[in-house]
Amino acid sequence: MRLIRVGVIFDQKVGVGGGYHQALNSALMMLKIKNKFVEPIFLTTIKKNISILQKHGINAEYINLSLLEKLKDKFRREILNKHIINIVKKIKKSSSFEKKLIKYKIDIVYFLSPNDLSQSLEKLNYITTLWDTCHRDEPEFPEVRDNKEFERREENYKRILPKATAILVDSETSKANVVNRYNVDSDRIYVMPFIASETIIRKIGINKTKKINIQKKFNLDSYIFYPAQFWAHKNHIYILNGLRLLEIKYGIKISAIFSGNDMGNKLYVERYAFKLGLQDRVHFPGYVSDEEMVELYRQSIALVMPSYFGPTNIPPLEAFKLGVPVLYPDKKGMRDQVGNAALLMDLKDPNSMAINLKAIIEKKDLRERLVNLGYEKYKYYQDFDHTKILNDIFKNFSIKRIAWD
């Protein structure tokens, strides 16, 4: 079978949340499938990623794209007239981005995130990753509407999805959405479920004893945990309302720790906490290390994740691995990810969060049952054969690849 050289594009910045961790997980999977007919070549347009990937055993090459090159490539994408394209090709055979890839003798490009750079590929085939189509599910949020983000995503997906050799999605819900919304053949869409962050899992093995006392560090008793960037769709406000109801209706007073970077909504969350009188019980540590993240999970009452975006997310999987109960939205796709291993919340009613927390706090057997079910669910996702899917895609492509020089 012909050797296939795969250009693996890692273009996620550290600290961007689940997107970075999922891209890293996928990159590490590519290391595992290096074999007789697949040779991965790791590439990035973010220079800082080189040293970060090296720490994980991945040797990557830096592709430097100047602003002028990016603008030229963008202009080139818009040319559809065949005669004009031929004239342009006489001046420059390929786009700047594709030319740099061709130097590595790459056969197919694997984008670990939904990158619009794939629009610049004219000769090379590509695989693209699509995490979600939440801009269509929840178009009301400012991060979807501001600066024409909705229009940018739609234009990018409409261009890159139909042309892709393969599209990797997180769930059957996402697969159905891509087929229905972008008229893509289902045979080209492959479901590869998210798995828990590889860096977090490694720290679990190291941190067998508690190294950070969270209660002492933040001067609190019991707390719930939510690791999420401060976007409006992450719905921190729901948790604040739920905590207030838990105190007023059921006499239970607990804290919350919100880790994550500010994406424009943090000040609003802080002010809302003050408005409800919760300012002393809500903590904002920002971006935390993997070591501290493990302990923030472990020592919490539960992971409470009322995000509107899905259909799947990484934090529930990390919580399952760490033996932490999960409260998760009762939404299509999201409930499928956790099954009976989590307590579901009605995002229209924060009292449902309060009721679930009360049950976890007061019923030890419920907590134990959720922990056991969570570990089973975690094991299902970790045992899922992601590498087989990638190998099948590359094998199918290699059969077609022998048809041209």
* Euclidean distance between CA atoms 211 and 272, whole angstroms: 32
Q: Indicate if 141 and 277 belong to the same structural domain.
A: no
Q: Indicate if 182 and 302 belong to the same structural domain.
A: no
Q: Indicate if 90 and 236 belong to the same structural domain.
A: no
Q: Indicate if 67 and 114 belong to the same structural domain.
A: yes
Tokens 């492509």 label which residue?
397
Q: Indicate if 177 and 205 belong to the same structural domain.
A: no
Q: Indicate if 158 and 218 belong to the same structural domain.
A: no
Which residue, 239, 244, 268, is CA-closest to 256? 239
- Residue 371's domain comprises 198-382
320's tokens: 């399952």
Q: Indicate if 204 and 280 belong to the same structural domain.
A: yes
Q: Indicate if 91 and 219 belong to the same structural domain.
A: no
Q: Indicate if 14 and 89 belong to the same structural domain.
A: yes
Q: Indicate if 244 and 356 belong to the same structural domain.
A: yes
Per residue of the chain (405 residues), give pLDDT as tens: 678 899 999 987 765 666 777 888 888 888 888 777 889 999 999 898 898 888 888 899 999 998 898 888 888 888 878 888 888 787 888 888 999 999 999 999 999 988 889 999 999 999 999 989 999 999 999 999 999 999 999 999 999 999 999 999 999 999 999 999 999 999 999 999 988 776 666 656 555 556 789 988 988 989 999 999 999 999 999 999 999 999 999 999 999 999 999 999 999 999 999 999 999 999 999 988 888 999 999 999 999 999 999 999 999 999 999 999 999 999 988 999 999 999 999 999 999 999 999 999 999 999 999 999 999 999 999 888 888 999 999 999 998 988 887
Q: What is the CATH number of the domain that holds 28?
A: 3.40.50.2000
**Are the C-beta atoms of residues 290 and 315 closer than 8 Å to each other?**
no
DSSP H or E segment with residue 234: none
Q: Indicate if 230 and 326 belong to the same structural domain.
A: yes
**Are the C-beta atoms of residues 328 and 307 closer than 8 Å to each other?**
no
Strands 282-286 and 189-191 turn out to be unpaired
> How many domains would you assign to the chain?
2
Q: Indicate if 392 and 368 belong to the same structural domain.
A: no
76's tokens: 């080139």
